Amino acid sequence: MHAHQSWGRYPRAEHTHVVPVLWRSDPPALSEVSGKLLPFAYGRSYGDSCLNAGGALLDVSGLRRFISFDEARGVLRCEAGVTLAEVLALIVPRGWFVPVVPGTKRVSVAGAIANDVHGKNHHRAGTFGAHVTCFELLRSTGERLLCSPERNVELFRATIGGLGLTGLILWAEFRLKRIPGARITMDRIRFSCLSEFYQLSRDDQEYEYTVAWIDCLARGRALGRGLFLRGDHVAGAGRAQPGDGPAISVPVDLPSGLIGRAATRCFNTLYYHAQLRNRQRRTLFYEPFFFPLDGVGAWNRLYGENGFLQYQCVTGEDSESAVVDLLEQVARSGETPALAVLKRFGRIPSPGMLSFPRPGVTLAIDFAMRGSSTLKLLDRLDRIVAQAGGAVYPAKDARMSGPSFQRFFPNWQSFASQIDPKFSSSFWRRVSAA
């Protein structure tokens, strides 16, 4: 078993015990475990949505078996703790891909459902949950429910994006996507300000994958400058080739003596100017394109003992002025934003009641945790997001207030009625408080 903390290593939580779940046919009797319960897979959530301070965790990393793979139709069924890395290793050589992948492949299938994760193709494919055909949910009463868009529909919708609170997913089935090969053709385009990003992302529909890296210390006319990446699957070898470097190598190259503001500013400037031409095209293996951060083991430790926070929000479709406000607040603060990503979400609705993605632009920024000054800045950002009718992503959060959460997710109370009474999390106790 592995350490039970979240990716940002903030906050730290003490759990009373950790119950391993090893057999889907013979799961632990949940009613006999004392205290509140929360499933835990690989802790790739950044904040406290995968933590349950003072309660127990149900560790599903032992539920690691494939159940069936219909290679003709592209439908896969596997246990909850199977990772997307394991799924990709099985299916890519056979001409299939996971329909939606987050920025790391080291997440479980159940974690991808519980946070209804999105990827660089949200504008084309929606969220992971949109591709789930069914799963089996164990409730603390011992009941095992098959949930799908046709059966136990409310629980199906509550569990997708349901933060592990509706019960324990034992296995899940989802649809795959056909690909011509294991390589991606990628354009990398430099843009000099935020409105150029908005222009570039208007052509999103022509590309399967789009995302941008931005220099969030740039100010004035350079505010929001960065590199826009777009890509499509193409035929080609199933393995990394010489020259397949990471698509974005930010964490690999981050200056030592992390994560000082001056060093980050210097790095961002170098990175922004690193490519000579404004537009570059190359073909590369899919892994460095989708998972550049996976190339560096445990990079979260670069932030030291105090950990870090990722702030990810989405603002409405015509949100340029809100994004300008957010970036100005960040650039003006004394905080140290390290990695920042911008992406336009599409309009495909998420099946989950509490799913985060909605039409608009999403901004994600990592901040070293420096105590109350960092927390105060993030509260200021929350107010801008609320004004713009947006939301903050629970999978990345460790600090938003109850009123903010309730405003970002107005149907939280109908979701709450589907929660298993024996399940809870540190995140949920904080945001559902009056």
Ligand X SMILES: Cc1cc2nc3c(=O)[nH]c(=O)nc-3n(C[C@H](O)[C@H](O)[C@H](O)COP(=O)(O)OP(=O)(O)OC[C@H]3O[C@@H](n4cnc5c(N)ncnc54)[C@H](O)[C@@H]3O)c2cc1C
Q: Could you list the residues that contact ligand X (CB under 6 A)?
A: 7, 38-45, 49-50, 60, 80, 102-104, 107-108, 110-112, 114-115, 117-119, 163-164, 168-169, 293, 395
Q: How far apart are CA 264 and CA 258, in angstroms?
A: 8
Q: Which residue has the tokens 């699957």?
A: 233
Phi-psi region of 139 (alpha: psi -120 to 50; beta: other; left: phi over 0): beta
Q: How far is the CB of 257 from ligand X (least distance, A)?
A: 22
Residue whose beta carbon is closest to ligand X: 164
User: Given the complex with ligand X, which of 236 and 245 has the nearer CB atom?
Assistant: 245
Q: DSSP letter at 293?
A: G
Closer to ligand X by Cβ: residue 115 or 374? 115
CB of 349 to ligand X, least distance (A): 16
* Nearest CB to ligand X, comparing residues 13 and 324: 13
For residue 7, the minimal CB distance to ligand X (Å) is: 4
Q: Which long-range contacts (CB under 8 A, 24 or more apart) does 253-262 make?
A: 254/302, 254/338, 258/302, 258/303, 258/304, 258/338, 258/368, 259/302, 259/303, 259/308, 259/336, 259/338, 259/368, 260/336, 261/217, 261/334, 261/335, 261/336
The Cα 82–Cα 95 span in angstroms is 20
**Cis before 67? omega within 30:** no
Round to the nearest angstrom and report the end-to-end CA distance of the chain: 36
Minimum distance, C-beta of residue 221 to ligand X, in the bound complex (Å): 29
For residues 49 and 432, which CB has a smaller minimum distance to ligand X in the complex?
49
Residue pair 122/343 in contact by the 8 Å Cβ criterion: yes
Closest to ligand X by CB, 5 or 374 = 5
Using an 8 Å Cβ cutoff, are 419 and 393 in contact?
A: no
Cβ proximity to ligand X: between 302 and 324 the closer is 302
Closest CB 419 distance from ligand X, rounded Å:
12
CA distance 29 to 144: 12
- Nearest CB to ligand X, comparing residues 271 and 427: 427
Closer CB to ligand X, 46 or 197, in the complex: 46
Which residues are within 8 A (CB) of 96 and not within 5 positions of it... i.e. 6 or more apart? 71, 74, 176, 177, 178, 179
CB of 19 to ligand X, least distance (A): 12
Please give the distance of CA 363 from its chain centroid, rounded to a whole number. 12
**Are residues 416 and 432 in contact, defined by beta-carbon separation less than 8 angstroms?**
yes
Measured from the CB atom, the residue of 110 and 331 that comes closer to ligand X is 110
Q: How far is the CB of 199 from ligand X (least distance, A)?
A: 23
- Shortest distance in whole angstroms from residue 335 CB to ligand X: 20
Instruction: Give the C-alpha distances (Å, rounded to integers) separating 46 from 309, 393, 404.
Output: 7, 10, 18
What is the amino acid identity at position 17?
Answer: H
Please state the closest distance from residue 129 (CB atom) to ligand X, in A: 11
